[in-house]
Chain A
Amino acid sequence: MELILKYKLQTSRIMWNFISTIQDWFNDVSERRRLIRNFNLSAREAFVSNLAPTLLESSISIGESAYKHAFSKFMSGGFRIKALSGRPLNKPEMISIAQVVLNNQELVRKLISLGWDTLEIHDNAGYNGIKYKLYDYSGIAGVIGNNNY
């Protein structure tokens, strides 16, 4: 009798865990979309109000498989920022955009927790871009890096 009860409890726990993971997945998807929408909206506002010389646009990309971590999402681990500059951006310009994101530790941690692992900076005219491993800029990469997942 006790065994049956234990078995039932365990199966209900597993089912509950399964349901909560599904719920978390949906929450993550909506949170990711909200972050991207907010970024695009504020970039548009900055461009319209003449604060920004170029219009930035963020989107989700596949990402770099070598940069994966424990929380990265399957086939959508890249956070791509595209600069609609009309001309190819040079390397320092791309680095300066990336540095702002990478130096903001709160943003980097949020991106990691929402399943992103790669930060990509591109322009709309050229073929060049840069990729960064977000994990290295979270501020705790040294500690997490020792664990094997």
Chain B
Amino acid sequence: MTEGLMISIYVFVLAAFVGVEVISKVPPLLHTPLMSGSNAISGITLVGSLIAAGEGHGGLSVILGFIAVVLATVNVVGGFLVTDRMLKMFRREPQNKNQRA
């Protein structure tokens, strides 16, 4: 087993613990934004997609990479934006209902 792999496994296990600690503290009130926001974070696979699409060999791997870039970008951009749209709506003070037509 290589050293790199060992480090990756450490990272994996520790990240899982951080995940449990951090996520269990999110109240049900915010579960939908949590899902869409964490979902946007999982679009990090875009990093891999970019490299695959830009390798310049041409051929199949670039095409696959290109599709992956499109999908992952939709995931990232759509995910963060929609989460922001939702979180903007959560307010504490009772609002005067001025946004309804």
**Is this pair of chains taken from one and the same complex?**
no
Residues on B lying within 8 angstroms of A by beta carbon are none
